[in-house]
Amino acid sequence: MSELAVGNIVRRVLHIIREEDHSNTRDAVEGFRLSVGGDNDYIVEQDHLNLSVAAQSSLCRPSLHALLERSPDSATTYFTATTEDDSEEKRKSLDPNARSLEFRRKVISAVNDLIEDINTCHLVIAELAVEHIHHNEVILTFGRSRTVKEFLCAAKEKKRSFGLFVAEGAPKYQGHLLAKELAARGLQTTVITDSAVFAMISRVNMVIVGVHAVMANGGVIGPVGLNMVALAARKHAVPFVVVTGTHKLCPLYPNNPEVSLNEMRSPSEVLSFEEFSDCMDYRIGTGAPQLHVGNPSFDYVPPELVSLFITDIGGYYPSYMYRLIADYYSSDDLVIQQKPAS
Amino acid sequence: MQNDLPANSKPLKERTSKAERRALQEAQRAAKAAAKAEGSKLPATTSGAVASANVKPTKATKPSSQKNDSATVASSEKKGGDRPPEKDRKKDAPHPRMQYDDKSRVEKAKRRAVVKQTEARNRVELFRHLPQYEHGTQLPDLESKFFQLDPVHPVVYKVGLQYISGDISGGNARCIAMLQAFQEAIKDYSTPDEKTLTRDLTAKINSYVSFLNECRPLSISMGNAIRFLKNRIAKLPLTLSESEAKAFLQSDIEQFISEKIILADKVIVKHAVTKIRDGDVLLTHGSSSAVEMILLHAHELGKQFRVVIVDSRPKLEGQLLLRRLVGKGLSCTYANINAVSYIMHEVTRVFLGASSVLSNGTVYSRVGTACVAMVAHEFRVPVLVCCEAYKFHERVQLDSICSNELGDPDAISKVPGREDINYLDGCTNSENLQLLNLIYDATPSDYVSMIVTDYGMVPPTSVPVIVREYCRDQVWI
């Protein structure tokens, strides 16, 4: 349950397939209206049949599997309405196999577009950097995100000079790597520990972070420690900006996200086994271990703490994110059913 | 209004009125200025007194105890004339501490320094007003000089080395170590000819203090203790012989340690234990001696509770506390400070220690405390700060940048035990990259529910009252 982006992409692809099918059906229904005007009894009868099949297929859609594996039988007869129309007729009179191939080709090209979008989202976002970062600003970031890195470097390219604080982001310490990369690119970087975030944030103009996933209510799932940073930013009235591609937008609502959307990593990253191996054996009266070590890997930040989302389709307020879900996902796909083994 | 000797006119511990005490201090300052200037006993003017007060800051670079130098320097106990109290009120405002971006003062301090420090090359601009030195260069240098006994007493030298290496850390521990070292030094002290005990001993103590400050900047608790000691020296009657005076001072130090630190801790434990109920989940940050005592005592009383220890880099002091608590049988959870939002759901109370509490209610404590208090406040968990009253201070501070301590930047780039994380090896000298290792931070008073002191359990707004009534003018009740 931790890699939400996988589920997102699956749903995106399903949505693409449904969209393609929906646009095909719409065209077919359009074609009917043109042909129903005919007076021929035979035609009317055929048309009624076709219309009803089309209506049936639009109301209770065939499964996606059926759409892709369309076999040349009754389900496709609505394409064979007889009239004198030009391109519609040509298309309708195509061989069903070719139609299925055509459909699949369209779906594949849409998926390729999606791949392209995901690969280049950080470049698109980086173009917006100049609007948000100005001279002599001080920016704080947490952990390491490629989108943030490109964002900051783009502002640097445009000759904006700003200072940067990077919080190291224990226990992965990705902040160290980011700081090294940014210093190599010429940005004035200071590495601080996560505990010093509250101390330094009074001197910071803006917090820019990348996250793991964006939930439907506008809340974000980010590296552990991000909630602390967001709270400190709110206390000091510092804008908390999240840069993310739309592929991270998840249509689920976070219920008890600390537990259900979290992943616990090995405690050895926090406490070394060699030093504390003797303590691991202690037990209290009931036999439960005396020493627990917690190492969650994600943190949930509620939408009230986020000031702005910068995505590859523009900047949005957290309460708007649910609208984007309607654009990218179909409601049928929200809960991916387990197929019963039959 | 000449300065004439009081012929046993007042016993040492009599409580004089405030105006008289201020007048006394004024006269002492004046006498010192006069003695310095001419060597003859002329009454100095007010400006002379002010000038002497300003000369003192460059003599000893003690950021936190500076502001009360004016109250403690004394050449001898002389009863001065009646200065009107209004003039003294102006000098009650604390002297500004030494700022390290003031080049002339830094130069003067360096000339007097015992420890040769090399300034760090890669300094964070925001902290130019704080000293930052290359770590790792001092310790071997000082160790080699150990057997050159002048000018620093070997016990004090030892304590300084322990500070540098980090063997002694924590407000109480450092303060006790320093005071015990001073006890030894006073025991071995003998007045040179033609000098008065008080003046010479004070000068010696000043030199020890500046040495310790160069090893590691003084904590606020140490500053208060030094102020106390100097005041005691100043108040010694002249009629005492040297051995009597030394015995007097040693017993005073002993009394300070036992009353202000050890007994105070017992009182704090007694108060705070009443706030722990069965089934509690208590969270603490880092390792505080007061909080540790509270937890152990509550466990001895048989209360059922769990402890969560939140730790932060680079010192990772929580691991030491964890080991001690688990050894005593408490059931503990350990987490990094990043996980504090995750853990805070199940926590019922937060106990924090402090290096000091300032007069605007701000708690000055180990870095990370502010984050913990903020998250606790967000989750509506009460925060109790346990701090002995001798650590309170008149200073005020709004954020963590005005005054802080900068530690070794290499401690950030090295992650112990994780060899895969060594991205920053060798990067400490890159020109665009700086590493900032803050030691303290300031927690705003709205995050603190209650402060447990030896004067009782008080809200943060009562701290300046305690400072004024009990700690001002060294009336150490």
- B347-365 pLDDT per residue, tens: 999 999 999 999 999 999 9
Distance CA A155, CA A145 (A): 16
Residues of B in contact with A296 (CB under 8 A): 339, 342
Q: Are B238 and B79 in contact (CB under 8 A)?
A: no
Q: Work out the number of other CB atoms within 10 angstroms of the CB of residue B273.
A: 18
Residue B384 pairs in a beta bridge with: B351, B450
Distance CA B251, CA B244 (A): 11
Q: Do A282 and B332 touch (CB under 8 A)?
A: no
**Ranges assigned E (strand) in B69-124:** none
Nearest Cα residue in chain B from A202: B399
Residues of A in contact with B342 (CB under 8 A): 224, 258, 262, 294, 296, 299
Q: Which of A308, A218, A311 is nearest to A257 (CA)?
A: A218
**Which of B285, B338, B344, B365 best tests the A interface by mutation, with the highest count of A CBs <10 A?**
B338
The per-residue pLDDT for A318 is 92
The per-residue pLDDT for A66 is 62
Mean pLDDT value of segment B382-411:
89
Q: Do B124 and A168 touch (CB under 8 A)?
A: no
Partner residue facing B412 (CB), from A186, A193, A292: A193
Residues of B in contact with A162 (CB under 8 A): none
The per-residue pLDDT for B46 is 37
The per-residue pLDDT for B95 is 58
Please check the confidence at residue B369 and state whether its pLDDT lies above 90.
yes
The per-residue pLDDT for B10 is 44
Least confident of A34-48, A171-185, B307-321: A34-48
Q: How many CB pairs under 8 A join A and B?
A: 186
Q: Do B418 and A173 touch (CB under 8 A)?
A: yes
Distance CA B87, CA B19 (A): 11
The answer as to CATH 3.40.50.10470 being correct for domain B277-404+439-473 is yes
Residues of B in contact with A300 (CB under 8 A): 341
Q: Work out the number of other CB atoms within 10 angstroms of the CB of residue B256.
A: 20
Chain Cα centroid distance, residue B287 = 17
Q: Give how far A268 is from chain B: nearest CA, Å.
A: 10
Q: Give how far B423 is from chain A: nearest CA, Å.
A: 6
CATH architecture of B135-266: Up-down Bundle (1.20)
The per-residue pLDDT for B51 is 37
pLDDT digits (tens, 9 = 90+) for A243-266: 998 889 988 888 888 888 888 988
The per-residue pLDDT for A326 is 81
Q: Which of B437, B451, B467, B332 is nearest to B383 (CA)?
A: B451
Q: Do B399 and A276 touch (CB under 8 A)?
A: no
The per-residue pLDDT for B5 is 41
The per-residue pLDDT for B314 is 85
What does each C-alpha distance from A192 to A206, A212, A337, B380 come to in angstroms? 16, 22, 45, 28
Peptide bond into B151 cis (omega under 30): yes
Distance CA B382, CA A253 (A): 30
Q: A328 or B84: which carries more pLDDT confidence?
A: A328
Please check the confidence at residue A39 and state whether its pLDDT lies above 50.
no
Please check the confidence at residue A55 and state whether its pLDDT lies above 70.
no
The per-residue pLDDT for B402 is 87
Partner residue facing B432 (CB), from A186, A195, A284: A186
pLDDT digits (tens, 9 = 90+) for A274-296: 878 777 777 766 767 788 898 99
Partner residue facing A202 (CB), from B319, B399, B415: B399
Q: Do B326 and A231 touch (CB under 8 A)?
A: no
**pLDDT grade for A310, boundaries at 50, 70 and 90:** very high
Q: Are A297 and A262 in contact (CB under 8 A)?
A: yes
The per-residue pLDDT for A234 is 95
pLDDT digits (tens, 9 = 90+) for B173-186: 999 999 999 999 99
Please check the confidence at residue A321 and state whether its pLDDT lies above 80.
yes
Distance CA B358, CA B394 (A): 6
**pLDDT grade for B226, boundaries at 50, 70 and 90:** very high
Residues of B in contact with A224 (CB under 8 A): 336, 338-339, 342
Six-digit token pair at B93? Answer: 């405002």
- Contacts of A155 by beta carbon, 8 Å cutoff, 6+ apart: A129, A130, A132, A133, A162
Six-digit token pair at A319? Answer: 């309460």
Nearest Cα residue in chain B from A173: B421
Q: Give how far A267 is from chain B: nearest CA, Å.
A: 9
The per-residue pLDDT for B425 is 67
Distance CA A154, CA A156 (A): 5
**Which of A193, A231, A235, A262 best tests the B interface by mutation, with the highest count of B CBs <10 A?**
A193
CA B361-B339-A269 angle, 5° bins = 130
| Strand, coil or helix: A292 | strand
Mean pLDDT value of segment B366-380:
95
**Which of A181, A185, A198, A226 best tests the B interface by mutation, with the highest count of B CBs <10 A?**
A198
Partner residue facing B371 (CB), from A232, A258, A288: A232
Q: Work out the number of other CB atoms within 10 angstroms of the CB of residue A137.
A: 16
Q: For the complex shown, is ipTM > 0.95?
A: no
Please check the confidence at residue A143 and state whether its pLDDT lies above 90.
no
Distance CA B118, CA B132 (A): 9
pLDDT digits (tens, 9 = 90+) for B80-123: 334 444 554 444 555 566 676 667 766 776 666 666 566 666 67
**Which of A156, A165, A166, A195 best tests the B interface by mutation, with the highest count of B CBs <10 A?**
A195
Whether B135-266 and B277-404+439-473 share one fold: the answer is: no
Six-digit token pair at B176? Answer: 């006790």
Q: Do B333 and A232 touch (CB under 8 A)?
A: no
The string of DSSP letters for B109-125 reads HHHT-SS--PBPSS--G
Partner residue facing A188 (CB), from B339, B368, B432: B432
The per-residue pLDDT for A76 is 43
The per-residue pLDDT for B242 is 84
Six-digit token pair at A201? Answer: 């944030």
* Mean predicted lDDT score pLDDT of chain B: 78
Residues of B in contact with A198 (CB under 8 A): 370-371, 374, 400, 441
Residues of A in contact with B124 (CB under 8 A): 190
- Contacts of B277 by beta carbon, 8 Å cutoff, 6+ apart: B303, B305
Please check the confidence at residue B40 and state whether its pLDDT lies above 60.
no
Six-digit token pair at A185? Answer: 């690119």
Distance CA B444, CA B413 (A): 29
Peptide bond into B154 cis (omega under 30): no
**pLDDT grade for A100, boundaries at 50, 70 and 90:** confident
Q: Do A290 and B330 touch (CB under 8 A)?
A: yes
B353-363 burial, b at 16+ Cβ within 10 Å, e below that, comes to bbbbbbbbbbb
Q: Can you give the residue ranges of every domain in chain B?
A: 19-74, 135-266, 277-404+439-473
Q: Do B367 and A199 touch (CB under 8 A)?
A: yes
Q: What is the dihedral of CA B258, B264, B270, B276, to 10 degrees?
A: -130
| Overall size of chain B counted in residues | 477
Q: Give how far B173 is from chain A: nearest CA, Å.
A: 23
Please check the confidence at residue A340 and state whether its pLDDT lies above 80.
no
Q: What is the dihedral of CA A104, A108, A113, A115, to 10 degrees?
A: 150
Mean pLDDT value of segment B285-302:
93
The per-residue pLDDT for B149 is 56
Mean pLDDT value of segment B255-270:
93
The per-residue pLDDT for A239 is 95
Nearest Cα residue in chain B from A177: B423
Least confident of A117-126, B151-160, B373-382, B425-434: B425-434
Q: Give how far B408 is from chain A: nearest CA, Å.
A: 12
Nearest Cα residue in chain B from A229: B371
Distance CA B201, CA B191 (A): 8
Q: Are B388 and B321 in contact (CB under 8 A)?
A: no
Distance CA B263, CA B254 (A): 12
Please check the confidence at residue B170 and state whether its pLDDT lies above 70.
yes
Q: Do A276 and B371 touch (CB under 8 A)?
A: no
